[in-house]
Structure 1
Amino acid sequence: MKTLLTAAASAAVLLASQAPAFAEDLEFLLVNDSSADLVEFNVSPASSDRWEDNLIDGGYLAPGYEIGVLIADGATTCVYDIRGSFADRSEEEDFGLDLCDLGEYVFTD
C-alpha cells in the first residue's frame, strides 16, 4: 500500500513540477478494475509521436484501487493518448481522449 500511495504522490509531483503558471491543469481519477497490477501509465498529447514518462515509475496500482492524476504539462490541449502496461505483460492504449471532460479513466480486462 505504501508503494501504491508513493506512486500516486510521485506522479502528481512529477507533473506539477513541469507546469508553467499560465497553463490549465487537468485532473481525473485513474481506476484499475483489471485483474493485474498496473505497473506503467503514460499520458501524452495526441499530437505527440512518443509516449511521455511512466507516471508510476517504481510503483504500481493494484486491482480495485484508484488514484488521482494531475496533468500540469503546460500544454493548452485537452486531447491526450493514454497507455497502461500491466504486470501480466498486457497493455492497453486509448487515443484521442478529451481530458478536459474526463472525470475518470477505468482500466478493465
Structure 2
Amino acid sequence: MTKLRFALAASAAFFCLAGIASAEDLTFTLKNGTKSVLTNFYSSPVGVNNWEDDVFGKQVLNPGESIEITIGDGRAVCKYDMKFEFEEGSDLDTTTDTQNLCELGAYTIHE
C-alpha cells in the first residue's frame, strides 16, 4: 500500500511539473539590421487582437545592436505576431511579422 501511495504521489508531481514546463518563457536575440533606431517592439500570440506592452520600455535598439528578448507571459504558445516601430523621421515604416518563437534563436529586422 505504501508503494502505491508513493507511485500516485510521484505521478501527480510529474504531471504538475509537466504543466509548468509547457508555459516556459520564450527567449531569443533580436538584432537591428537596419540603419534606423528601433524604438518600440510589441508582441502578441497569434489570434490575440491587441498588442501587448512595448517590450523595450524606455530602451531603444540602435542600428547593428542586439538585445536578448524574453517573453514571459505564461502562455503555452509558440507563434507570435511582432510589431517593430522606428524613430520619428526614419525612412522605415512600422513593420510586422509572425514567427514561431519556440524554434527561433535569433531574429534580425532588415530594411
TM-score between both structures, scaled by the size of structure 2: 0.75
Matches for 1:1-109 after TM superposition, within 5 Å: 22=20, 23-87=23-87, 88=90, 90-95=93-98, 97-109=99-111
Higher helix share: 2
User: May I ask how many residue pairs the two structures share in their alignment?
Assistant: 88
Q: Percent identity?
A: 35
CA RMSD of aligned residues (A): 1.4
What amino acid sits opposite 2:95 in the alignment?
E
TM-score between both structures, scaled by the size of structure 1: 0.76
Q: CA–CA distance in 2 between the matches of 1:69 and 1:57?
A: 12
Moved over 6 A (4+): none
Query: What secondary structure is seen at the aligned counterpart in 2 of 1:80?
Result: strand
Q: CA–CA distance in 1 between the matches of 2:95 and 2:24?
A: 27
Of structures 1 and 2, the larger Rg is shown by: 2
Offset from partner CA, 1:21-47 (integer Å, 9 cap, x none): 922111100000101000000011002
Higher strand share: 1
